[in-house]
Amino acid sequence: MKSRTTPPPRKPTSGTRPAGPAAATSPNRPSTADAPPDGALLVREIGAAADYLRRCRQELASLGANELAKDRIPAASRELDDIIGDGAEFSHAIMMAAERVMNASEDDPAAYRALVHEAITSIIVQCAFQDITAQRAQRVRGALDTIERRLARLATFVATREMPDIVDFSAPDATIVEPKAGPAPRGQGNDQASIDRILAGPDRS
Amino acid sequence: MNISPSTPILVVDDYQTMIRIIRNLLKQLGFEDVDDATDGTQALEKLRKRKYGLIISDWNMEPMTGYELLKVVRADDSLRETPFIMITAESKTDNVVAAKKAGVSSYIVKPFNAQTLKAKIDAVGEP
Q: How many residues does chain A have?
A: 205
- Write the DSSP symbol of residue B62: S
Q: What is the pLDDT of residue A34?
A: 60
CA B8 to centroid of chain Cα atoms:
12
CA A94 to centroid of chain Cα atoms:
34
One-letter amino acid at A58 equals Q
Closest by CA to B66, choosing from B48, B91, B44, is B44
pLDDT in tens, A44-75: 888 888 888 888 888 788 777 777 777 888 88
B55 bridge partner residues: B10, B84
CATH of domain B9-120: 3.40.50.2300
For chain A, what percent of residues have pLDDT higher than 70?
70
- Write the DSSP symbol of residue A175: G
- Write the DSSP symbol of residue B54: E
Best mutation target, A96, A120, A176, A195, to test chain B (most B CBs within 10 A):
A195
The structural domains of chain B, with segments of one domain joined by +, span 9-120
Q: Distance between CA A107 and CA B41 in Å, rounded?
A: 51
The structural domains of chain A, with segments of one domain joined by +, span 64-187
Nearest to A131 among B24, B89, B108 (CB): B89
Q: Distance between CA B91 and CA A198 in Å, rounded?
A: 11
Best mutation target, A192, A194, A204, A205, to test chain B (most B CBs within 10 A):
A192
- Are the C-beta atoms of residues B25 and A121 closer than 8 Å to each other? yes
Query: Of A159 and A30, which is predicted with more confidence?
Result: A159
pLDDT in tens, A112-160: 999 999 999 889 888 888 888 888 898 898 888 888 888 877 777 776 5
The residue in chain B having the minimum alpha-carbon distance to the alpha carbon of residue A118 is: B114
- Are the C-beta atoms of residues B65 and B22 closer than 8 Å to each other? no
**Residue B19 pLDDT more than 50?**
yes
In the sheet with B54-57, reading across from the earlier edge strand, the strands are B34-37, B9-12, B54-57, B84-88, B106-109
- Are the C-beta atoms of residues A179 and A145 closer than 8 Å to each other? no
Q: What is the pLDDT of residue A65?
A: 76
Q: What is the ipTM of this complex?
A: 0.86
Closest by CA to B112, choosing from B73, B84, B85, is B85
Closest by CA to B115, choosing from B20, B39, B28, B34, is B28
- Are the C-beta atoms of residues B124 and B106 closer than 8 Å to each other? yes
**Residue A14 pLDDT more than 50?**
no
CA end-to-end distance (rounded Å), chain B: 6
